[in-house]
Structure 1
Amino acid sequence: MADIQKESIAEAYDDVRNDQTPTTWALLGYDDSNTIVLLGTGSEYEEFRSKFSDDDRLFGFVRLTAGDELSKRAKFVLITWIGSNISALKRAKVSTDKSTVKSILQNFALEIQISDLAELEEPNIREALKKAGGAQYGTGVRD
């Protein structure tokens, strides 16, 4: 199991979950010593998406607004990214390290593992989040 920088990651997690801050994402990855570290935070989804490549193993925690025209609320997504150039041994390590990450990033509506940048596009994540939310009771009309 990998070492993890708990304090900085917990602070970023709290910042993303805080309705009073503009932060909507936190990105975790491995440093040169295979410790899981906070790589960054931000407020623009496209900036978040731009951080992913085929050579990375990353964990993303994202805040998205979900719901229908009658009820909007923050929902959180935990994304595990394993790039296509990652070796089998490192892929397997991500699976075991995910439990360590989830000990800090505990509350989310959707957990997904992806390795294709197209799957990481915001509409695709929103659609997966919508499906995970269950029934949609909106009227289809906005006042």
Structure 2
Amino acid sequence: MWLSADDERAFGFVRMTTGDEMSKRVKFVLVTWMGGNVSAMKRAKMSTDKAQVKSLIQNFAVEIQTSDLDELEYDYVLQELRKAGGANYGTGNRD
């Protein structure tokens, strides 16, 4: 995976479908990756670069900033979206 580089940083914008059996919603996630071995200069630039990215991409439900690949797993991101989305009224059954 390209994000396994500990000396890299990256931004991602992910589209996911959430909801229950009664309704589906499209949500977006802004991902900021900063590897554990990113140089001090790259770390310092991250906040200004992130501000520029956020000025272009303004519509997202969740922002994940991480250096842990486990936090980029589908189930983890979906769980974060559900937490940010508020109430889930689904029963698990659709009549």
* TM-score under structure 2 length normalisation: 0.90
Structure number with greater CO (CA < 8 Å, separation at least 6) is 2
Which ranges in structure 2 are unaligned for 5 or more consecutive residues?
none
1:52 aligns with 2:3: yes
How much does 1:96 deviate? 1.9
CA deviation digits over 1:96-135, x for unaligned, max 9? 2111011111111111101011111111011011101111
1:108 aligns with 2:49: no
How much does 1:89 deviate? 3.0
Q: Distance in 2 between matches of 1:86 and 1:71?
A: 41
Q: What residue number does 1:93 align with?
A: 45
Aligned-pair Cα RMSD in Å: 1.2
Q: Distance in 2 between matches of 1:132 and 1:71?
A: 16
The answer to whether the 8 Å contact 2:27/2:61 transfers is: yes
Aligned pairs, number:
94
Moved over 3 A (4+): none
* TM-score under structure 1 length normalisation: 0.62
1:119 aligns with 2:71: yes
Amino acid at match of 1:129: L
Q: Distance in 2 between matches of 1:56 and 1:139?
A: 43
